[in-house]
Structure 1
Amino acid sequence: MIAIVDYGMGNLRSVEKGFQKVGVDAKVTSSPKDVENARAVVLPGVGAFRDCIRNLTELSLTEAIAKSIQKGKPYLGICLGLQVLFSESEEFGRCKGLDIFRGKVVRFQISEKVPHMGWNNVKIARRPPIFSAVPDDSFFYFVHSYYVVPDDKEIVSGTSDYGLTFTSMIWKDNVFATQFHPEKSQSLGLKVLSGFGEFVKKSS
């Protein structure tokens, strides 16, 4: 079973339905025990970084997520689920993240409209296993005002352009995370979710 972490933010049912469409068993849960016992963890989210960290902490989920990643369980972060992996965010003042990866989350300082909302292409820098069925330069749905700046550029697996070139996907070992929303990205998004499901099977 894949645990889709419910901390009160994000399109949880859309993610769950996406996995169901591609035949992957996934369950929405806010229980740290479920997260610890799951074969893989998915952390979706839309909203403010600080609220996300606060909710995860209040539900005792931060430790469960970190331990799952450290044990080598597959992890898929979506939007906020990508951003909270990093050391800190500048959103509404400095706020500490999970610090799985060194780096920060910064606001777009560009002439284009913020938030960045709508379809944009992803250029693959390093092809992650979950992208095996997805062509380079494919379009996915985005909605965000902040983006991640990893200290280690080796974890960057995809980039997109919106006033500047930003990291739109990371991958290291068992950890995959996207700034875009696979669950809102139609057939190609389903291929990403299916690819993650296949990775989980192979990892078991």
Structure 2
Amino acid sequence: MAELIVVVDYGMGNLRSVAKAIEHVAPQGSAVQVTDDPAVVLSADRVVFPGQGAAADCMAALRGRGLIEPLTEAARTRPFLGICMGMQVMLTHSEENGGVDLLNWFPGTVTRFPSQVDAAGNALKVPHMGWNGIRQTRAHPLWHGIADDARFYFVHSYFCTPVDAGLTVGQTVYGLTYTAALAAGFVFAIQAHPEKSADDGLRLLTNFTRWQGEFV
């Protein structure tokens, strides 16, 4: 059956690259639409929630466009993929911008990477930018066909720490070990950018377009 896959536009992030990647892997007949219309979000069969930039700007944009309630409803009722800022904003509070209250779908905090050094004593730069592995800490349908420790592309200065460690389905090491992917119910969220992550990223997006959102 043809489906509508919505990529949420709240004015932050490279939406074209996300939409094009999903169009490339979606089942034949599926429609991919970039929108900021709350009604279209609620009409979608699947929702992709990407984003880059600052937490305060993100929350202001979501409120200004009337998207908070539609996104919350969509995340409860249909397959929902959060990417980068789209993952961070699902937690409770970010220390970015002097402190920002987030959507609080999952209790937890978003924290800036501290000053760290690698094994050779070299300073680790912030933002964490480039390729890094994700260790799959729990099985999930979106990991299907993706090797453990597969490398994904990251660009971020803040990392997520959910209160419930059971939400974590993937971890990455950048000095410290942090939650790189979380999942519950219809939601899967990843800190990396699958649309920039070559074959494994496309595989994850392929899995999302076929996943029925069943995960406990």
Give TM-score scaled by structure 1 length.
Answer: 0.96
179, 194, 202: which one aligns with 1:182? 194
Q: Find the aligned partners of 1:173 and 1:131 in 2 and give their Cα distance.
A: 15
Unpaired segments ≥5 residues, structure 1: none
Q: Does 1:2 align with 2:5?
A: yes
Is the contact made by 2:186 and 2:214 (CA closer than 8 Å) also made in structure 1?
no
Q: Find the aligned partners of 1:173 and 1:135 in 2 and give their Cα distance.
A: 23
| Structure 1 position 200, deviation (Å) | 4.2
Find the counterpart in structure 2 of residue 89 from structure 1: 94
> What is the number of residues matched between the two proteins?
202
Is the contact made by 1:39 and 1:200 (CA closer than 8 Å) also made in structure 2?
no
Structure 1's consecutive aligned runs of 4 or more residues displaced over 4 angstroms after TM superposition are: 200-203
Is the contact made by 1:40 and 1:200 (CA closer than 8 Å) also made in structure 2?
no
146, 149, 162: which one aligns with 2:158? 146
Find the counterpart in structure 2 of residue 44 from structure 1: 50
Q: Find the aligned partners of 2:125 and 2:44 in 1 and give their Cα distance.
A: 39
| Structure 1 position 94, deviation (Å) | 1.5
Q: Find the aligned partners of 1:31 and 1:134 in 2 and give their Cα distance.
A: 33
Give a deviation string over 1:79-132, Cα, whole Å, max 9, x none.
000000001111011111111000010000032100000000000000211111
78, 85, 95: which one aligns with 2:83? 78
**What SS does the corresponding residue of 1:127 show, helix, strand or coil?**
coil
Q: Does 1:155 align with 2:167?
A: yes
Q: Find the aligned partners of 1:175 and 1:168 in 2 and give their Cα distance.
A: 14
Bigger radius of gyration among the two: 2
Is the contact made by 2:128 and 2:154 (CA closer than 8 Å) also made in structure 1?
yes
In structure 2, do the counterparts of structure 1 residues 94 and 73 end up closer, same or farther at CA, with 3 Å as the change threshold? same
Is the contact made by 1:103 and 1:149 (CA closer than 8 Å) also made in structure 2?
yes
Q: Which AA in structure 2 matches 1:88?
A: H
Q: Which AA in structure 1 matches 2:207?
A: G
